[in-house]
Chain A
Amino acid sequence: MISVPTNHALILAAVIFLIGAVGVTARRNLIFVLMSVEIMLNATAIAFIAAASKWHQPDGQVFVIFILVTASAEVAVGLTLFLRIYHGWKNLDADEVSLMKG
């Protein structure tokens, strides 16, 4: 039987999450930003699974399903928005789309 200490799984989740955070902060291209967000979502899913396994309850896994749904909706809308941004600004630079400045 596999019995991994829960904390190790949590630490793994944290590491992947933080790598995603680095990606969001450091990358300028919107596509990569969205990918990094996906990484972060998956990391939280790992944490949920680990918790569900520890407490022998299915709730964590249910929540991961919801995360899956959310991620799909988000990617769909997000990519559509990328289409519009590209149409307007002719590039996908996160620093260009800063009309909310000031």
Chain B
Amino acid sequence: MGILLWLVVLLPFAGALTLMLFGASMPKKASGAIGCTSIGLSWIAAMALAVSFRHPLDTTLYPWIKIDGFQVGMGLRLDALSLVMMSIVTFVGFLIHLYSSQSMYEEDSLPRSLGGYHRFFAYMNLFVGSMLVLVLANNLLPLYLGWEGVGLCSYLLIGFWYKDRANGYAAQKAFIVTRVGDAAMAVGLFLIFYQLGTLNIQRILALAPMKWTPGDTIVTAIALLLMGGAIGKSAQLPLQTWLPDAMAGPTPVSALIHAATMVTAGVYLIARTHVIFSLAPQAQLIVAIIGAATLVYAGFSALVQSDIKRVLAYSTISQIGYMFLALGVGAWTAAMFHFVTHAFFKALLFLSAGIISDALHHERDLFKMGGLKNRLPVAYWTFLIGVASLSALPLVTAGFYSKDAILFAAWSSSRILWAAGIIGALITSAYAFRAFFLAFYGDLKTEVSKLPGALMKFAVVVLAFFSISAGFAKNPFEGLLSGVFPELHLSGHSVEITLAVISSLWALFGVYLAWVYFTRPELSRAFGRSLVGRRLHHFLLTGWGFDWLYDRLFVRPFKAIAFGNSSDFVDKFFVGLGELAEYGNLALSATQTGKLRNYVTGLLIGAIVIAAIVMLKL
């Protein structure tokens, strides 16, 4: 059993290592095969563990750090929560690897020896391995290792096409912004260790209630610091600026990392350390508020984007806001359930968008798409299922069940939070179907040049199936996770049904609004040309001006200080030494005039000096 668990984690790393060492010298098909097989085998092992799961399982590979007072082992723990995460990561990861083995096949944009194809799969495998370490770690330190590992892979994969500078900048932005969160999280880990003497998760969850009472300052500080890390990784306010730019990477990367898995690491962290958050109600409230604010913010921003991937990026930010909202009101299970459904339909949406843009010569502008309904039928139906699930259309979509669970929990906690959620729901369906209509209806603006391959179609169809059917597994899911999370007391069942009806009608209204927007463009055009309209459009398009704000607030002062300090006193000292030598050279060369008289004068002066020295001795 324990070995199987380790295989799940180590197989992707083995794949990555093989590809890094030998990928350049093996044929393309082999690299693709190795890349997909390692994740495939990992998934099979994960499924084996899942079907035979009875009790939580703890195993340690080796004692990692062993010094007096601080012992950390490289260990994994399989319980219901990590089982869910592991299954999703391996399954969705496998499907995306299959998709990308076909979609990235011609993408080898560099000469063979620096090849793109095997490098891509090496990084993707490394990512899946790190993500698995993150979700399966039984100790906060290996968790942090996986945390940093996925951050690294995110950087490597966003900047995959590194010859274009802009991609490098986007990768740097992602890394630096998440670093801010990571630093907060590290301080949080220090505090935990200092207070509790251990970083083992289960021990922390057991010791924390004994040491602190709810509302204690220290535990609130720890919770806020951990939340800082989660905010960075999950792209919530105020550290969300990196995710829209991260769309510079290849589409499978966006699907895997920035939709289904890495960005949900923050949600996982808070869920895993839920005991600490329960002990710090103020921090938990802040989590909920941030979630609510972010989901509204991102929803409005998604409404005006023209790049299809940016719509989906803001959509991801918004949906993770829902998960944060759920965590903030104590609905741990609902948050995890939404994570599962979101992984399916968001990955589906990204891969489907990838099919569209591949077919249109990498065109990503929605306003240059149109009329693709009959040209790309697979993309049409899968994208439709994706946006339906995203909008939580009633009863037939998985998104409906998970989002409703969250809204129900929010209603029981605070009406304001519920209101934010319901407004978000309207906007979600509006922007989702806006994108759908713009891409598939209307006049054909760009010709279709390439149809999707078999593996790509397979991946999106499977994801579409789960985007519908995963919702029906809600009750078994809750049962599974009841062992990990405490029970949440909610209002009665009838309230739940009423709320479900309200949110369904509201979502359908959003679809209608999108339809009106699409079929009657003159209404929006008139508004769009007015001054208010243009200003508002620009404001929303740039994500409410956060980039501008951060540039003024942080980037420019930092650069000014760095440039000002680039020739500080240490530099001046060393440069001064050089200048002194130069000056000395100039001065001494000037004495070499070549004239006899000058040399004789020098002799005389020397004679005076020597005579003086000798005389002083006399």
Contact = CB atoms under 8 A, between A and B. Distances in A.
A and B touch in the complex (CB under 8 A): yes
Interface of A: 21, 24-26, 28, 33, 94-95, 97-102
B595 A94 contact: yes
A10 to B, nearest CB: 14
- Looking at chain B's contact residues, the main secondary structure is helix
A28 B597 contact: yes
Contacts of B600: 21, 24-25
A25 B597 contact: yes
Contacts of A97: 594, 596
A98 B593 CA distance: 7
Given A21-B604, A25-B604, A95 B597 contact: yes
5 contacts: A21-B604, A24-B600, A28-B597, A100-B594, A101-B592
Nearest to A100: B594
Given A21-B604, A25-B604, A102-B589, A94 B596 contact: yes
Contacts of B601: 25
A101 B594 contact: yes
A21 B593 CA distance: 20
B582 to A, nearest CB: 16
A98 B594 contact: yes
Classify chain B's interface size: 10 to 19
Contact of A100 (B589, B592, B597, B604): B592
B288 to A, nearest CB: 81
B591 to A, nearest CB: 10
B137 to A, nearest CB: 72
B592 A33 contact: no
Contacts of A21: 600, 604
A18 B512 CA distance: 115
Contacts of A28: 597
- Most-contacted residue by chain A among B592, B595, B604 (CB, 10 A): B595
B604 to A, nearest CB: 6
B184 to A, nearest CB: 64
A65 to B, nearest CB: 26
A94 B596 CA distance: 6
Nearest to B589: A102
A101 B593 contact: yes
A94 B604 contact: no
Contacts of B593: 98, 101
Contacts of B604: 21, 25
Contacts of B592: 100-102
A101 B598 CA distance: 11
A98 B594 CA distance: 4
A97 B595 CA distance: 7
Nearest to A30: B596
Interface in B482-534: none
A48 to B, nearest CB: 19
B618 to A, nearest CB: 15
Given A21-B604, A25-B601, A99 B594 contact: yes
A96 B592 CA distance: 14
Contacts of A24: 597, 600
Nearest to B601: A25
Nearest to A22: B604
A34 to B, nearest CB: 11
Nearest to B592: A102
A71 B336 CA distance: 111
A26 B600 CA distance: 10
A27 to B, nearest CB: 8
A24 to B, nearest CB: 5
Contacts of A100: 592, 594
Interface in B548-597: 589, 592-597
A26 B597 CA distance: 7
B596 A102 contact: no
A94 B597 contact: yes
A61 to B, nearest CB: 26
The 10 residue pairs across chains A and B that have the minimum distance between CB atoms = A98-B594, A101-B594, A100-B594, A94-B596, A98-B595, A25-B600, A24-B600, A95-B595, A102-B592, A25-B601
A22 to B, nearest CB: 9
Contacts of B596: 33, 94, 97
Contacts of A94: 595-597
A28 B472 CA distance: 113
A95 B316 CA distance: 86
A82 B600 CA distance: 19
A73 to B, nearest CB: 20
Interface string B243-277: 00000000000000000000000000000000000
Contacts of A101: 592-595
Given A33-B596, A98-B595, 20 more contacts: A21-B604, A25-B597, A25-B600, A25-B604, A26-B597, A28-B597, A94-B595, A94-B596, A94-B597, A95-B595, A97-B594, A97-B596, A98-B593, A99-B594, A100-B592, A100-B594, A101-B592, A101-B593, A101-B594, A102-B589
Nearest to A99: B594
B599 to A, nearest CB: 10
Interface in B44-90: none
A33 B597 CA distance: 9
Nearest to A24: B600
A84 B52 CA distance: 111
A1 to B, nearest CB: 32
A66 to B, nearest CB: 22
Nearest to B607: A21
Nearest to A33: B596
Contacts of B589: 102
Nearest to A96: B595
A26 B601 CA distance: 9
B448 to A, nearest CB: 77
A16 to B, nearest CB: 16
- Most-contacted residue by chain A among B593, B596, B600, B604 (CB, 10 A): B596
